[in-house]
Amino acid sequence: MLISQESLTGKMALKDFVPTSSLPSANLVLVFGSVRRFSEPKLPAFLKDRYPQAQIIGCTTSGEINTNEVFDDSLQLTAIQWEKTTQRVTHTTMSGMQSSFEAAQSLAIQLKTDDLRTVLVFSDGLHVNGSELLEGFQSVLGEIPIVGGMAGDAGAFVKTLQLFNDTVSENMIIAVGLYGKNLVTATGASGGWKPYGPPRKITKSDKNIVYELDGKPALPLYRMYIGEHFAKGLPSTGLKFPFAIIEEGKRETEKIRTLLAINAAENSLIFAGNVEEGETVRLCQTNHERLLEGASGAAGFIISSLESAESFQPGLALCVSCVGRKLVMADQVADEIKAVQKTLGPHTKIAGFYSYGEFCPRPNTNDSVLHNQTMTIGYLSEDLLV
């Protein structure tokens, strides 16, 4: 597995790339950048000319991650050349959030084979129900690990874009199947959020829309808890106050839901994934130190999983973290990427983005779920001696 990374900061243009890429033979290129970058008409043709043999995929973000830093309004390219692993790349365009399950199911059918090892998924961030999407994949693939995330738009909640070779569009889901015994994979996810306030039961909801908590309209109750100052900035300020779903017999903050939108006419809250009737939730809060502990913890799961692997090349850590974490850490957001790098070691390359929802298995399982407000890591490498 060969990896090459290129970066353009916010003040640079496509012409500022060096004339030729260092890995023109790459067969997969991951592209993460701002909505402005993805709106440049020349971008798809430029990338295809630079990586003529590659499938080129990616999405817009609420912050771009590379091995050294976190950027805004940049363009981050990670080129991969598999030596023995094979890949299959597919995509679909959504007709609406309600078709999330069916769209994912159709992609999974195209990817399913006996030697499928893991799936990378990048989706629209505003018009996809992340819970339904994962359930659609799992209905066909079972417990194949799924990693990736939902695109962002810097917290504006207006439009996210996805890139599939020569197409840049909204409402897209892109999936990459990776195959073969030489592929080395591991995953890790950890949050660092702490619930506060009383538990509240979801008494009326429809998939990802919550109408009532303890029999009371959801939006006024939520506004009361976060206070007038933050309530004025909804929905974006809601990123600092997610829900923890309290699952019986599991860690309190194992599954968190991020607010995507509000409906004042219906007094409802709209989340990135499902919040079922009968579930118990609490509001969450955090601080810088807890988030760093979460990032280190996610990387720690990777190290534990790789201890049994005897020989493999240095790999890539695909980090998808939540925009809510970025808002809390502000100018110190790169600290959590440094925490991941410190744990995984200097030979591991890092790529990724800040998202509106993260796809990753629960810790120590292959059971992929939609996370919010979580650092998730999908580690990829190859063992050529198998």
Where are the domains positioned within the chain? 2-190+289-382, 194-283
Q: Is the pLDDT of residue 249 over 60?
A: no
Q: Is the pLDDT of residue 279 over 70?
A: yes
Q: Binning pLDDT at 50, 70 and 90, where does residue 38 land?
A: very high
Written in H, E and C, the secondary structure of the chain is CEEEEEEECCCCCHHHCCCCCCCCCCCEEEEEECHHHHCCCCHHHHHHHHCCCCEEEEEECCCEEECCCEECCCEEEEEEECCCCEEEEEEEECCCHHHHHHHHHHHHHHHCCCCEEEEEEEECCCCCCHHHHHHHHHHHHCCCCEEEEECCCCCCCCCCCEEECCEEECCEEEEEEEECCCEEEEEEEECCCEEEEEEEEEEEEECCEEEEECCEEHHHHHHHHHCHHHHCCCCHHHHHCCEEEECCCCCCCCEEECEEEEECCCCEEEECCCCCCCCEEEEEECCHHHHHHHHHHHHHHHHHHHCCCCCCCCCEEEEEEEHHHHHHHHHHCHHHHHHHHHHHCCCCEEEEEEECCEEEECCCCCCEEEECCCEEEEEEEECCCC
* Residue-averaged pLDDT of the chain: 92
Q: Binning pLDDT at 50, 70 and 90, where does residue 382 land?
A: very high
What pLDDT, on the 0 to 100 scale, is given for residue 252? 45
What pLDDT, on the 0 to 100 scale, is given for residue 250? 54
Q: Tens digits of per-residue pLDDT, 145-204?
A: 999 999 999 988 899 999 999 999 999 999 999 999 999 999 999 988 888 888 999 999
Q: Is the pLDDT of residue 309 over 50?
A: yes
